Structure 1
Amino acid sequence: MSGLYDWPEKYGDPTWFLHNRFGMFIHWGLYSLKAKDEWIMTQDKISKTEYDMYLQQFNPDLVKPEKWVKQAKKSGMKYIVFTTKHHEGFALWDSEYTDCKITNTAYGKDLLREFVEACRQEGMKIGFYHSVIDWSHEHFTIDGLHPQREDENARNEQRDMSIYQQYLFDQVEELVTRYGKIDYFWFDFSYGDRDWGWSKGKGPDDWKSEDLEQLILTHQPHILLNNRLGLDRGVYTPEQYQPAEPLYTPEGAKRIWEACQTLNGTWCYNPNNLHWKSSEMLIKLLIDTVSNDGNLLLNCGPTARGNFDTRTLEVLEEIEGWINFHSEAIYGAGSSSFECPQDCRLTQKGEKVFIHIFSWPFRTIHLKNFSQKVKYARFLHDYSEIPVKTFEESDVFHHDIPVIGNNETVLELPVIKPDHVVPVIELSLE
């Protein structure tokens, strides 16, 4: 891996991550029964006793992890980050340390093992999402995010955070020792900056983050970690917004980052959240992310029965239609130092520069300040050649193509836009 990146030496090699660029996030748990929000337990202030009802109701009769994985692969995703346990405390594996787990539901099987096996069958990189928060655990101390924050009978005097810490470590150790090689461990999340007056948020001291990292790396030294243990290192994971440029440390090193986006406005399945991003918007988010040296982790929330709903499948199919023709401009690509033409984005891989055309221009694209000569240009979707004209200082006007600056390169386009959401031109440089 290039030394240009700010990356802890003790973490694994992120080369595969920087190459793959596109992953699927899957949020799934008891909250899928409520079909509103994965934070519903605290939003509605539901106690553990009340919430246990959903453990009895959980029966995903349509769940087939191999279908999730095959769909992700078809849509161009190269890795999947799957929720092992969200803030609600429901474990999607057969944990020895809790009764709040999928093997105690009507499903009765270790879904995480099935998911891991499906990923390996399809050559998919494996990521585990794991929340350091657990609102169902009797020793997780009550703070301003806790569902029982207004319950006068729930007291922290009866809770011992050190017991919860051991529980956290025990479950993480299960995850990194039972399922073979895991490529990416995605923690969620530290909130030590929160202060409600009567309580404060939790951060790395509460999770014993340094020791937790060491536990994981002892068993899986190759693994990648994200930045949400509060230690300010690992993959930076902004969610629901896009950095507008490559990210750097104050010392000038590049940061490895991953934009986390939903299909609509919620992370879990919610049929009433109609804030759907169009496939065009999502394709452009992927392009925009890669053009700024980032990865896109796109979330899909299965229903409580375990299947992807029709709208999700439609969007994924439309993304598949684009990436099947344009993957060369995404995998292994990153930002370009060349000046980007109007209404376009640039990605680059070695001596190949890719122009992603967000708004179709009339007849020409002007390349300014290109320090290397364009040897050949073609569309990616059909490999049809694009004429390239280079104008020297003596050329002020050439036929009917206006030349704005000296040593300008002009690509001559058809008037009619190709039938692709974002057409891509590949430039081979000399």
Structure 2
Amino acid sequence: MLSPLELDLVDKLTVSGQTPEQKQETARQIMDALSIEELEAYGSKINQYQAQLINQDDTYWFSLQEVKKFMQNEINRRKIAKLGLTYSNGEPAAMRGAELASMLKSNVRFKSTDGIKEASLKLTEEDRAWWHDAKLGMFIHWGAYSIIGRGEWVMHHEQIPAEAYRSIAMSFHPDAFDADSWVMLAKDAGMNYMVMVSRHHDGFALWDSPGSYGNYTTMQAAAGRDFIKEYTEAAHRHDIHAGLYYSPMDWRFPGYFDPVEQYESALQMKQQLYDQVSELMTRYGPIDILWYDGSWLSHKGSDAGSAWLWEPVKLNRMVRTHRPKVVINERSGWEGDFSCDEGPHDIRGGIIPFPWEKNFSVGGSWAWQPGNKAMAFDKVMDLILNVFVRGGNALLNVTPDKDGKIPEDQVQLFEQIGGWMKVHGESVYGTRGGPFQPLDDVYGATYKNNFIYLHIFDPEAFRHVKLPVIKQQIVACHSISGTAIPFLQQADGISIQLPEDCVESIDTIVKITLDSAVEGILSN
């Protein structure tokens, strides 16, 4: 718990009515009197305090997040000053006002909101359109940690020495791995892209990587195989977009834990990052998504706060020279082409006004653990539909075991998702969230061209709803199966008279045909 003095300092930084400049000045006055050690201890306490506020007070939670950002930037400035270094391209820019306002209204939690702004690296809306249209993807966490079966952070959490962990990793020999079956499971589930972990924070690379520190790869392990090669070839063979996850951090390096005092080690880790990302972008044919994770340092701060080491603008310029059209997320310290919301918490609030993706595991943990059960189908559908009506994509993680076998209950769940998407996919693929803002737990909408798809989650409550005014005229209104649905379009809004026999258990979809194309999102 924060002391009265520490709470007073937080209150000074979170007071309403202050401009960003005033907050920065207040922060400087407070932090000038504190040592690096005191600031770090203070930040740890704020982390604990934040944990108590989750799902209680999102506005205050994000205010505390801003406090931590001020503090971490100050810590970074002081530490790197010892090395005579500065942030590449200047300090990380704060979120723009409209983005922050939208974030505070919603319970979507983006982990990396302060990335360096470098517009020349961003894809155009046209180049990114396929990703928006695709809507749904499969995430795969699989590696040496799958042998142990206690999660992908097991090396760190259980403080397994690097050499002991390496001996486990070298026994990796997944006889049941079949890239084609993974790809076909994704395709049959209605997914249009995949993201496979190529290397997690433990440093173990799932491909033949010359740049791997200590030749720490599956080619050197018992398997003697390049699993990224097998995966990407299967994805290309079956015409699904191939994405790769990569973690810059590596627990084997002392420089990760103390990049200032162990600066040479940190530079070795950085060199591995550049070498391995270059390999992934040049050796496996078209790569459509580069999904970074773990760009922070010392278990503190943010991805952008570690930009002084990684130089993410330089890194992603290199990526663009190899793969000009690859879609990149925001977790390298650069703002990226899209933002990520992580975990299975419910989605509420309005449409997010920038590209985003929700990622969560359907297997109870990110990596395989024995005894875990798959999420319920209706819970998964509730999550992803609430993402779609708010303009996002959904990336669903599976947890193959040490042999490369995806648990049967996860396979069955994906088959259920695929069955639903085969019938209702028209209301999802190629759409954008809107034009109506969602009404939490009642309905939301997606649209494309001159069609609006209402996604009704509570039919009884929806019968009391009048939709906002639109300037287009409604030509027709049908269920997804084609049954005509009565409607009334008036000067003060639209009433949909939903018949009982059109109601579905997961999501009742009403397709509205207009006389001209939808022209954007309503503020309502």
**TM-score where L is the length of structure 1:** 0.83
Distance in 2, matches of 1:111 and 1:243, equals 38
Q: Of 135, 139, 155, which residue of structure 2 is paired with 1:41?
A: 155
Preserved contact between residue 142 and residue 156 of structure 1 (Cα < 8 Å): no
Give the equivalent residue in structure 2 for 1:169.
274
**Cα shift at 1:375:** 1.5
Partner SS state of residue 255, structure 2? coil
The answer for the alignment partner of 1:108 in structure 2 is 224
- 2:122 corresponds to: 11
Q: Which runs of 5+ in 2 are unaligned?
A: 1-97, 100-116, 516-524
Alignment CA distance shift 1:95-1:373 (3 Å): same
Question: 1:243 and 1:141 mapped to 2: Cα distance?
Answer: 40
CA drift of 1:156 comes to 6.0
Residues 118 and 335, structure 2, Cα contact 8 Å, conserved in 1: no
Aligned partner of 2:359 among 260, 269, 289: 260
Q: Which one-letter code corresponds to 2:283 in the other structure?
A: R
Contact 1:183–1:223 (CA under 8 A) maintained in structure 2: yes
Q: Any conservation in 1 of the 2:245–2:290 contact (CA below 8 Å)?
A: yes
- Higher mean C-alpha displacement, 26-35 vs 224-233: 224-233
Change over 3 Å in CA distance of 1:195–1:172 after alignment to 2: closer
Contact 1:140-1:164 within 8 A present in 2 as well: no
State yes or no: 1:427 paired with 2:427.
no
Given the alignment, which residue of 441, 451, 454 partners 1:355? 454
Change (3 A) 1:363 1:17: closer
Query: After alignment, is 410-419 or 78-87 more displaced?
Result: 410-419
Q: Which residue of 1 aligns with 2:35?
A: none
Q: Does 1:287 find its partner at 2:396?
A: no
Alignment of 1:317-332 (within 5 A): 317-332=415-430
> Shift of residue 429 of structure 1?
1.6
Letter in 2 for 1:376: A
8 Å contact kept, 1:195–1:201: no
1:245 pairs with 2:343: no
Contact 2:211-2:276 at 8 Å conserved across structures: yes
Residues 192-219 of structure 1 show CA distances to partners (whole Å, capped at 9, x for unaligned) of 59559xxx99711222222211111111
- 1:59 correspondence with 2:173: yes
CA-to-partner distance for each residue in 1:375-421, whole Å, 9 max, x for gaps?
A: 111111x222223345x6xxxxxxxxxxxxx6554333332465552
Query: Which residue of structure 1 lines up, in the alignment, with residue 290 of structure 2?
Result: 185
Contact preservation (8 Å) 1:322, 1:421: no
Secondary structure of the 2:170 match is helix
The match for 1:415 is: 500
In structure 1, what residue type is equivalent to 2:380?
L
Q: 1:27 to 1:9 in 2, by over 3 A?
A: same
User: Structure 1 160/255 Cα, relative in aligned 2: closer, same or farther at 3 Å?
Assistant: same
SS of 1:426's partner is: strand
Question: Higher strand proportion, which one?
Answer: 1
Give 1:122 deviation, angstroms.
1.4
For residues 181 and 62 of structure 1, do their structure 2 counterparts lie closer, same or farther at Cα, with a shift above 3 Å needed? same
TM-score normalised to the size of structure 2?
A: 0.69
- Superposed CA offset, 1:294-339 (max 9, x none): 1111111111111111110121111112111111111111121336
* Aligned counterpart, 2:189: 75
The residue number in structure 2 matching 1:312 is 410
- Evaluate the alpha carbon distance shift between residue 9 and residue 15 of structure 1 in structure 2; reply closer, same or farther with a 3 A threshold: farther
What is the CA–CA distance in structure 1 between the aligned matches of 2:222 and 2:297, rounded to whole Å? 37
Check if 1:32 corresponds to 2:132: no
* Aligned-partner SS, 2:444: strand
What is aligned with 2:45? Answer: none
Task: From the superposition, tell whether residues 364 and 167 of structure 1 become closer, same or farther in structure 2 (CA, over 3 Å).
Answer: closer
| Amino acid paired to 1:333 | T
* 8 Å CA contact 2:388, 2:433 repeated in 1: yes
How far apart are the structure 1 equivalents of 2:304 and 2:391? 32
Indicate the structure whose relative CO is greater, using CA pairs within 8 Å and at least 6 residues apart: 1
Q: Deviations over 1:141-177 (max 9, x none)?
A: 1528x9xxxxxxxx96595222222222111111111
In 1, Cα distance between the equivalents of 2:369 and 2:356?
Answer: 27
Residues 1:277 and 2:375 are matched in the alignment: yes
Helix, strand or coil at the partner of 1:102: coil
- Aligned-partner SS, 2:257: coil
Post-superposition CA distance 1:121-145 (Å, at most 9, x none) = 1111111100001123xx451528x
1:225 aligns with 2:328: yes
Identity in percent: 27
Report how many aligned residue pairs link the two structures.
Answer: 391
Change in 2 beyond 3 A, CA 1:107/1:287:
same
**Offset at residue 8 of structure 1 (A):** 3.2
Cα distance in structure 1, aligned partners of 2:300 and 2:221: 37
Q: Secondary structure at the match of 2:169?
A: helix
* 1:204 aligns with one of 285, 307, 312: 307
Structure 1 pair 156/55, CA: closer, same or farther in 2 (3 Å)? Answer: farther
Q: CA RMSD in A?
A: 2.9
- The alignment partner of 1:176 has SS state of helix
Q: Structure 1's 225 and 408: CA in aligned 2 closer, same or farther, altered over 3 A?
A: closer
Residues 30 and 58 in structure 1, CA contact (< 8 A), matched pair in contact too: yes
- Map of 2:243 onto structure 1: 127
